C-alpha cells in the first residue's frame, strides 16, 4: 500500500513508541508501585484503582473526550465533544484544528499543529496522558475510597476537568494562544492530579487512624520496580511531546534524566542530614518530583537549567512534605495517602514557574506558537512570561478545586465516597474478595484452624468465630 505524502514513518514510529512508553508508566508501572507501596491489606485495591482508571479512560476518550481536548473549539476552554472511532478520521493526517496562532491584525503567526502521522497515533498518545492523570490522582485516595464511587469519579473528572485543562493549554484554547508554557504536562497532568487529589481526599475522608499512623510498604523492592518503569517511561512522556522524532525530543529526554537524578541525590542528602538515614521511599519521591518539575520545560531549557531545576525539585517539595505539611493544620486534616499534592502539585507549579524563568529563546521558537517567547532571564518579553505561568497555574488550581468538589458532592448523593469502617478494617478481602499474596498453601484464604495463629494488620474471617483485628505487624 502506498504511503500518503504527509506520512513520516520515523515520526509515526516514535509517536507510537512514546505512547507505549507512557502507557507502561501506568500499566504496569503505577499498578506495581501502588500495589507495593501500601500496606499489604490494600495491595489489591490500590493496584486495581490504577488498572481500572486506565481502562475506563480509553473508552471515554475515544467516545467523546479526545475531541473535547483537541478538537474544534466550542468555547475558549473546551472543544466540541464527539467520537474518535471512524476510520476516515483515524487514518487521515493528524491535526489540532484550533491551534493556528494569529497576530492581532488577523494574519497567521504560527501554523496549526499538524504532525506527519495519522490521527490514530495522536489519539492513542494523548489517551495515555489522560489516563496517567487519573492514575496519579488515585494516589491521594488509596486505602479507603469506595471502589464503586471511583468507578463513577473517573469518567466524570476526565470529562469535566481534564478536557478543559488540556484544551485550554494544549488544544488551542485561550491559555495556548496567550503563550502559557507547558511542554509536556506540568500543569495539564501533574498540577491537575495533585490539586484534584488533595480536594477529593478532603471529601472522601481519611483512612483509619491506625492506617494513617502506620502505613508501611508491603514490598519495597517492587516499589522500586514500579518507580523504575515510571522513570524510564518518561522518555515517551517528554520525548514524544514535540509530536515528532526531532532535535527537541533528544534535548527533552536528556534534560528529563538530568533533572530526575539531581533531584534524587538532593532528596536523599536531605534525608541523611535531617533523619540520619537514606530512605528508598524518599529517593522514589525525589525521582518523581524531579520528573514532574522538568516536564513543563523539558524541551525548552538548557542542561544547566535542568540541574538547577533538579536541585530545587529535590528540596522544595521535600520541605513542603516534611516540614510545612506537619505544621499546617489544614494539610494535617486531609489524608493525601501518597503525598500527591507535594510530589505533583508543588513540583508541577515549581516546574512551570522555573520554565518561565529559564526557557531558552531558540528552543522556545522550535515548539511554542507565540513567537519570541522566552524565559525571564533572557530579557525582552520574558518578564511577562512569569506572569503568564503563574496565571496558568492559578487557572488549573481553581478549575480542579471547583470541579472536583462538585463531582464528589454529586457522587456521594448516591454512592458513599468512603468504604464502611468494617471494610476498612479488613481491606482487600472485604473490598474485592481477594488478597494480594497466597501465603497459606495453594492460594487459600487464611484459616486459623488450618494454618495456625498469625499476626498481621489484616482482619481474617474465622469460621464460627467473631471477626476482629488479630494483631499488627509492619510488613
Name 93's bridge partners.
118
Residue at 241 is within a domain: yes
Which pLDDT does position 380 carry in this prediction? 87
Which pLDDT does position 472 carry in this prediction? 31
pLDDT average per 10 residues of sequence, the chain (475 residues): 90 98 98 97 97 98 98 97 96 97 95 97 98 98 98 98 98 97 97 98 96 94 97 97 96 98 98 96 97 98 98 98 94 96 98 98 95 94 93 98 98 97 94 84 59 49 37 31
Which pLDDT does position 474 carry in this prediction? 31
What sign results for the dihedral spanned by CA atoms 246, 251, 254, 259? negative
User: Can you give the pTM of this predicted structure?
Assistant: 0.91
- Let me know: does 267 contact 285? Beta carbons within 8 Å: yes
Residue at 123 is within a domain: yes
- In this structure, the strands spanning 78-79 and 73-75 are antiparallel
- Let me know: does 290 contact 263? Beta carbons within 8 Å: yes
- Let me know: does 119 contact 179? Beta carbons within 8 Å: no
Count of other CB atoms within 10 angstroms of residue 361: 17
Q: How far apart are CA 407 and CA 384, in angstroms?
A: 35
CATH code at 57?
1.10.3430.10
The domain of 328 spans: 9-431
> Up-side HSE of residue 371: CA atoms within 13 Å toward CB?
9
Using CA atoms, how far residue 469 sits from 97, 222, 449, 460, in Å, is 58, 27, 16, 8
Which pLDDT does position 468 carry in this prediction? 32
Residue at 395 is within a domain: yes
Using CA atoms, how far residue 264 sits from 271, 286, 303, 376, in Å, is 11, 5, 17, 27
Number of structural domains in the chain: 1
Residue keyed to cell 509517536: 15
Residue at 451 is within a domain: no
DSSP letters spanning 289-303: HHHHHHGGGTTTS-H
Q: Is 228 exposed, middle or buried (0-12, 13-18, 19+ CB in 10 A)?
A: middle
Q: How far apart are CA 463 and CA 466, in angstroms?
A: 8
Residue at 173 is within a domain: yes
Residue at 318 is within a domain: yes
Cell numbers for 449: 484452624
Residue at 235 is within a domain: yes
User: Which stretches within 301-367 are classed as H helix?
Assistant: 303-319, 325-327, 329-333, 340, 347-358, 361-365
> What backbone torsions phi and psi does residue 284 show, to the nearest 5 degrees?
-65, -45
Residue at 401 is within a domain: yes
Give the 3-state secondary structure of residue 436: coil
Amino acid at each position: 500500500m502506498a504511503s500518503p505524502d504527509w506520512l513520516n514513518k520515523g515520526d509515526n514510529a516514535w509517536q507510537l513508541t512514546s505512547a507505549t512508553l507512557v502507557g507502561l508508566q501506568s500499566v504496569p508501572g503505577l499498578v506495581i508501585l501502588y500495589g507495593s507501596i501500601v500496606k499489604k491489606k490494600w495491595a489489591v485495591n490500590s493496584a486495581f484503582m490504577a488498572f481500572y482508571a486506565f481502562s475506563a479512560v480509553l473508552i471515554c476518550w475515544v467516545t467523546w473526550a479526545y475531541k473535547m481536548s483537541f478538537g474544534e473549539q466550542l468555547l475558549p476552554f473546551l472543544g466540541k465533544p464527539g467520537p474518535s472511532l471512524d476510520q476516515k478520521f483515524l487514518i487521515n493526517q493528524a491535526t489540532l484544528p484550533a491551534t493556528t496562532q494569529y497576530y492581532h491584525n488577523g494574519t497567521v503567526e504560527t501554523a496549526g499543529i499538524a504532525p506527519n502521522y495519522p490521527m490514530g497515533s495522536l489519539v492513542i498518545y494523548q489517551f495515555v496522558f489522560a489516563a496517567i492523570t487519573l492514575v496519579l490522582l488515585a494516589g491521594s485516595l488509596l486505602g479507603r475510597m469506595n471502589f464503586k464511587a471511583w468507578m463513577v469519579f473517573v469518567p466524570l473528572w476526565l470529562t469535566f476537568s481534564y478536557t478543559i485543562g488540556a484544551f485550554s493549554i494544549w488544544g488551542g484554547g485561550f491559555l495556548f494562544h496567550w503563550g502559557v508554557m507547558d511542554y509536556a504536562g506540568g500543569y495539564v497532568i501533574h498540577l491537575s492530579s495533585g490539586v484534584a487529589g488533595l480536594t477529593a481526599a478532603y471529601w472522601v475522608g481519611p483512612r483509619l487512624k491506625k492506617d494513617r499512623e502506620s502505613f508501611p510498604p508491603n514490598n519495597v523492592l517492587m516499589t522500586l520496580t514500579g518507580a523504575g518503569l515510571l522513570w524510564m517511561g518518561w522518555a515517551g512522556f517528554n520525548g514524544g511531546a514535540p509530536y515528532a522524532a526531532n532535535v527537541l525530543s533528544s534535548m527533552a529526554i536528556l534534560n528529563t534524566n538530568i533533572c530526575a537524578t539531581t533531584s534524587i541525590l538532593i532528596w536523599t542528602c536531605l534525608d541523611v542530614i535531617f533523619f540520619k538515614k537514606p530512605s528508598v521511599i524518599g529517593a522514589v519521591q525525589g525521582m518523581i518530583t524531579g520528573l514532574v518539575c522538568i516536564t513543563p520545560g523539558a524541551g525548552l531549557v538548557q542542561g544547566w537549567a535542568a540541574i538547577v531545576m533538579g536541585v530545587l525539585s529535590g528540596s522544595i517539595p521535600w520541605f513542603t512534605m516534611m516540614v510545612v505539611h506537619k505544621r499546617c493544620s489544614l494539610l494535617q486534616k486531609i489524608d493525601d495517602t501518597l503525598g500527591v499534592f507535594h510530589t505533583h502539585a508543588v513540583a508541577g507549579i515549581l516546574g512551570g514557574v522555573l520554565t518561565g524563568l529559564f526557557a531558552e529563546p531558540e528552543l522556545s521558537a522550535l515548539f511554542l506558537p507565540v513567537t519570541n517567547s522566552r524565559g525571564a532571564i533572557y530579557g525582552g518579553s520574558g518578564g511577562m512570561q512569569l506572569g503568564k505561568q503563574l496565571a496558568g497555574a492559578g487557572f488549573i488550581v481553581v478549575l480542579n478545586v471547583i470541579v472536583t468538589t462538585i463531582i464528589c458532592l454529586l457522587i456521594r448523593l448516591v454512592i458513599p465516597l468512603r468504604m464502611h469502617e468494617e471494610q476498612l478494617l479488613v481491606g482487600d478481602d472485604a473490598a474485592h474478595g481477594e488478597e494480594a499474596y497466597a501465603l497459606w498453601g495453594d492460594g487459600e484464604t487464611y484459616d486459623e484452624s488450618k494454618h495456625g495463629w498469625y499476626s498481621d494488620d489484616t482482619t481474617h474471617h474465622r469460621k464460627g468465630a467473631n471477626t476482629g483485628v488479630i494483631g499488627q505487624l509492619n510488613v
